[in-house]
Amino acid sequence: MDTILKIEHLTKSLGKREILHDISFETYGGEVFGFLGPNGAGKTTTIKVLVGLLLLDQGTVSICGYDLKKDFENAIKNVGGIVENPEFYKYLSGYENLRQYAKIQGVGEDRIREVIHLVGLENRINDKVSKYSLGMRQRLGVALSLLHRPKLLILDEPTNGLDPAGIKELRDILTNLAHEENISVVVSSHQMSEMELMCDRVGVIVAGELKSVQPISELVASVAHDKCEKIFRVDAPERAAQILSENGFEDVTVTENSVNVLFDKASEDEITAKINRLLVHGDISVFNIADKENRRLEDVFIELTQREGGDQIV
């Protein structure tokens, strides 16, 4: 696998605020890299630096071996991308928009047709962009970014506005591009579930700092599988919770007809039995013991990104 994008110690300030702190990662041809982070984390800012809309303060970025700062033209030739929402000349047709860009990029008619086909816009390509839906604009944006056959394709929240079928199609397009044409695809998002299906590796960015870079499966496993939660349906949840906390259980939540207990997954069976004994000894009727549903990916995401920051945007 060849390195397409290499970011080293990227730092960026806008105004007085330092938005990005010392970010380093690499992406490779043939993979889809997910760039995950909550609102305001710095995803868009990072992408803007990568496509040359912002200058980098410190650190180096190289694309296909060309330094973005020293060799901008060669570096940027290999980049295609959408930053934030894809915006077009609304009074031009989708085709005209593509043509405008194709001319500057030195791309011919055939390639325009090819990318239109790729994103499935053939039927509506001659309509004015002002008549496009958000999803259609996203598709057009992808088509436009792909015109000049970039080695690095960067998409900022591309699934925004796509319907489930559209998301699946986009996923297929992107995985295809990566796996068949050996392109390095970078996709930013704050939707874990999408990431899980689309990405090979994920970088998590929180408040301008890159927390981790790892394969998606590891990421999900690392957060989701060290604890488990059991639901005890009982006749007196309040009293049950009191008994449990007296016996050293910390993560206990009370609902109308049950207590939920969170504990280490390692000794799952023993602890379940122990809790049951405690409750029965405490004269509480236990009707049912169940696993709480596997913790959802969104919870993992929230845990990952807001563990320290509370719920305020940083």
Ligand X SMILES: Nc1ncnc2c1ncn2[C@@H]1O[C@H](COP(=O)(O)OP(=O)(O)OP(=O)(O)O)[C@@H](O)[C@H]1O
Give contact residues for ligand X (rule: CB under 6 A). Answer: 14-15, 17, 19, 37, 39-45, 190
Alpha-carbon gap, residue 176 to 198, rounded angstroms = 11
Return d(Cα 172, Cα 179) in angstroms, integer. Answer: 10
Segment 121 to 150, residues that bind another protein, using CB under 8 A? 144
CA distance 95 to 88: 11
What interhelical angle do 109-119 and 94-105 show, nearest 10?
A: 130
Query: Least Å distance between CB 237 and ligand X?
Result: 39
Convert residues 235-254 into a mask of x (bound to another protein by CB under 8 A) and - (unbound): --------------------
Encoded amino acid at 62, one letter: S
Using CA atoms, how far apart are residues 203 and 215, in angstroms rounded to an integer? 9
41 binds, among ligand X, Mg ion, another protein, none (CB under 5 to 8 A by kind): ligand X
Q: Does 94 bind another protein (CB under 8 A)?
A: no
Contact segment (CB under 8 A) with another protein among 3-11, 72-80, 177-185, 275-283 equals 72-80
Residue 309 vs residues 102, 105, 119, 206: alpha-carbon distances, Å: 44, 44, 39, 9
Site for Mg ion in 22-51 (CB under 5 A): 44
The tokens of 263 are what?
């504990």
Class of residue 123 by CB neighbours under 10 A (exposed 0-12, middle 13-18, buried 19+): exposed
Q: Sheet containing 17-28: give its strands across.
A: 17-28, 3-14, 58-63, 66-67
Contacts of 310 (CB under 8 A, 6+ apart): none
73 forms part of the interface with another protein (CB under 8 A): yes
Which of the choices Mg ion, ligand X, another protein, none does residue 88 contact, using the CB cut-off of 5 to 8 A by kind?
another protein
91 binds another protein (CB under 8 A): yes
* Among 13, 58, 85, 133, contact with another protein (rule: CB under 8 A): 85
Count of residues touching another protein (by CB under 8 A): 30
Contact 153, 177 (CB under 8 A): yes
Token output for 145: 């970014």
Q: By Cβ distance, which residue is nearest to ligand X?
A: 44
Q: How far is the CB of 35 from ligand X (least distance, A)?
A: 9
Q: Which does 39 bind (CB under 5 to 8 A by kind): another protein, ligand X, Mg ion, none?
A: ligand X
Structure tokens at 15: 């105004």
d(CA 140, CA 19): 30
Per CB under 8 A, does 153 bind another protein? no
Judged by beta carbon distances under 5 to 8 A according to partner kind, the member of ligand X, Mg ion, another protein, none in contact with residue 52 is another protein
Report what 94 binds from another protein, Mg ion, ligand X, none; CB cut-off 5-8 Å by kind: none
Q: Please report whether residue 145 would count as binding Mg ion according to CB under 5 A.
A: no
Report the alpha-carbon distance of residue 35 to residue 173 in Å, rounded: 18
Nearest-CB residue for Mg ion: 44
Residues near another protein (CB under 8 A) are: 48, 51-55, 73-74, 76-77, 79-85, 87-92, 96, 100-101, 103-105, 144
